[in-house]
Chain A
């Protein structure tokens, strides 16, 4: 009798394991994974960059530390000003990353990566709060029974 139950449980477990393979990879996505397929890609032709370097020969002849990058995405009109690091190259890269995030939020709205991350965080915090309340009530129950 016990052996049969064990085998039935094993079968149930193995079916659950292979379900994604049966129904395709889409079903293996859970509420916790983020869908990156809608993130927009930016084309270099649509971008306009501005830096401060001044006139003159440039290169070795100039030693300026201002490395602010002003990146304009012409189709959408979004302008990003990036001055986070001391490297011009890194500021350009960060400006592009910020632009992709902003475009994603603009185009995709609730399906953007940031919105998805926020909803996952909200679900997690709700569950954490529920767990905390349950633990608190169990604790108070135990205290009540033990104090008798």
Chain B
């Protein structure tokens, strides 16, 4: 409570007896003093705006990438409301909120990606749970789903899709969510990724249409179960209509120039594509030739979609021209650009 006291020396502002801590008289008339209201034991009201300004400054000093997005996302998560749309940004934060905010901002100062800090991110229409070191879906992969959905619309009946290297399950879950005619089988060699993908599948109620297996693709182009080192023949369908993948494709020359967010927290096995980036892609192509059908059933031949590095389409076209590789009976059909104008997706069909 605040009131004016009229005295012989003029008007002075006095904190009334209802306040818990008396405000020092001299502070009220100091040129730079803010009007401090007794609030808690520290005597200072810490508002959302104060938090924003303090941590935005710290992020800029430490040269954290995307300082504005970082503080806005963390504040929105702490307040459970979109910070950008709040009108009363001078509203004070509670003790718990201040504590949580400090913890999350320290994580950001340690270069943890925002998606791991808040534990989730949006991929197309879905909210996916994410935790380190499971690979964070990139925006380019959202275009890949558009491409696949366009192909699916030309087919009738149920389509069996295999995803190799599903990570958090983004591609399979988005396909199952947006198209009612897919049955997805997804594999990943990391058991943490499989558990995150299964968690996402159950929270999105897609368990019946997305099956996740802990398995790996060998260098010879075979899928082996990670539980018992044998082929997964009995559990998986023999043939698939489509194989899709966002395999590790970063060439070695780029791998150690990545942002600290990626190098420190994401699974490097989900990124490392070997010397030229084709370490996983070539075995994937060989494997696909064994599970894709060439005979056009229900309007389409077996097709393989892969997200690749922009240097790969040229290398892959050369690989397909090699006579030795014609035994796989696959044809390089087309390259598709991503939103940023880079050659990102290759389409390969079974002939």
A-side interface mostly:
loop
* 0/1 string, B75-111, CB within 8 A of A gives 1: 0000000001000000000000000000000000000
What's the interface size class on A, roughly?
A: 20 to 34
- Asked if residues B146 and A89 are in contact (CB atoms below 8 Å), the reply is yes
Q: Among B123, B125, B259, point to the contact of A62 (Cβ < 8 A).
A: B259
- Asked if residues A60 and B138 are in contact (CB atoms below 8 Å), the reply is yes
- Asked if residues A49 and B262 are in contact (CB atoms below 8 Å), the reply is no
A20 to chain B, nearest CB (A): 34
- Asked if residues B140 and A58 are in contact (CB atoms below 8 Å), the reply is yes
Report the stretch among B220-228, B237-245, B290-298, B338-346 that lies at the interface.
B338-346
- A sample of 28 inter-chain contacts (CB < 8 A) reads A53-B139, A53-B340, A57-B254, A57-B310, A58-B338, A58-B340, A59-B249, A59-B250, A59-B338, A60-B248, A60-B249, A60-B271, A61-B254, A62-B259, A63-B115, A63-B261, A64-B66, A65-B115, A65-B121, A67-B139, A85-B122, A87-B123, A87-B125, A88-B139, A88-B142, A88-B339, A89-B124, A89-B146
- Asked if residues A87 and B142 are in contact (CB atoms below 8 Å), the reply is yes
The interface of chain A, by Cβ under 8 A from chain B, is 49, 51, 53, 57-67, 83, 85-90, 92
B276 within 8 Å of A by Cβ?
no
B65 within 8 Å of A by Cβ?
yes
What's the interface size class on B, roughly?
A: 35 or more
- Asked if residues A58 and B310 are in contact (CB atoms below 8 Å), the reply is yes
Number of A-B contacts (CB under 8 A): 86
- Asked if residues A89 and B342 are in contact (CB atoms below 8 Å), the reply is no
Q: Which residues of the other chain, A, contact B340 by a CB distance below 8 angstroms?
A: 51, 53, 58
Bound together, the chains give a CA A86 to CA B266 distance in angstroms of 20
- Asked if residues A89 and B73 are in contact (CB atoms below 8 Å), the reply is no
B113 within 8 Å of A by Cβ?
yes
Bound together, the chains give a CA A30 to CA B327 distance in angstroms of 66
Q: Which residues of the other chain, A, contact B139 by a CB distance below 8 angstroms?
A: 51, 53, 67, 87-89
Which residue from chain B places its CB closest to the CB of A68 in the assembled complex?
A: B69
B273 to chain A, nearest CB (A): 9
A131 to chain B, nearest CB (A): 35
Bound together, the chains give a CA A65 to CA B121 distance in angstroms of 9
Which residue from chain A places its CB closest to the CB of B113 in the assembled complex?
A: A63
Which residue from chain A places its CB closest to the CB of B272 in the assembled complex?
A: A60
Which residue from chain B places its CB closest to the CB of A92 in the assembled complex?
A: B339
B258 within 8 Å of A by Cβ?
yes
Given A67-B139, A86-B121, A87-B139, output 11 extra A-B contacts at Cβ < 8 Å: A51-B139, A58-B338, A58-B344, A59-B309, A60-B246, A63-B259, A64-B65, A64-B66, A87-B122, A87-B125, A89-B143
* 0/1 string, B139-151, CB within 8 A of A gives 1: 1101101100000
Which residue from chain A places its CB closest to the CB of B271 in the assembled complex?
A: A60
Q: Which residues of the other chain, B, contact A86 by a CB distance below 8 angstroms?
A: 121-122
Which residue from chain B places its CB closest to the CB of A64 in the assembled complex?
A: B66
Q: Which residues of the other chain, B, contact A60 by a CB distance below 8 angstroms?
A: 135, 138, 246, 248-250, 270-271, 309
B307 within 8 Å of A by Cβ?
yes
Which 5 residue pairs spanning A and B have beta carbons closest together? Answer: A89-B142, A86-B122, A88-B139, A87-B122, A53-B340
Instruction: Give the contacts of B259-312 with A (CB-CB under 8 A).
Output: 259, 261-262, 266, 270-271, 307, 309-310
B197 within 8 Å of A by Cβ?
no
Q: Which residues of the other chain, A, contact B69 by a CB distance below 8 angstroms?
A: 65-66
Q: Which residues of the other chain, B, contact A53 by a CB distance below 8 angstroms?
A: 139, 339-340
B114 within 8 Å of A by Cβ?
yes
Q: Which residues of the other chain, A, contact B140 by a CB distance below 8 angstroms?
A: 58-59
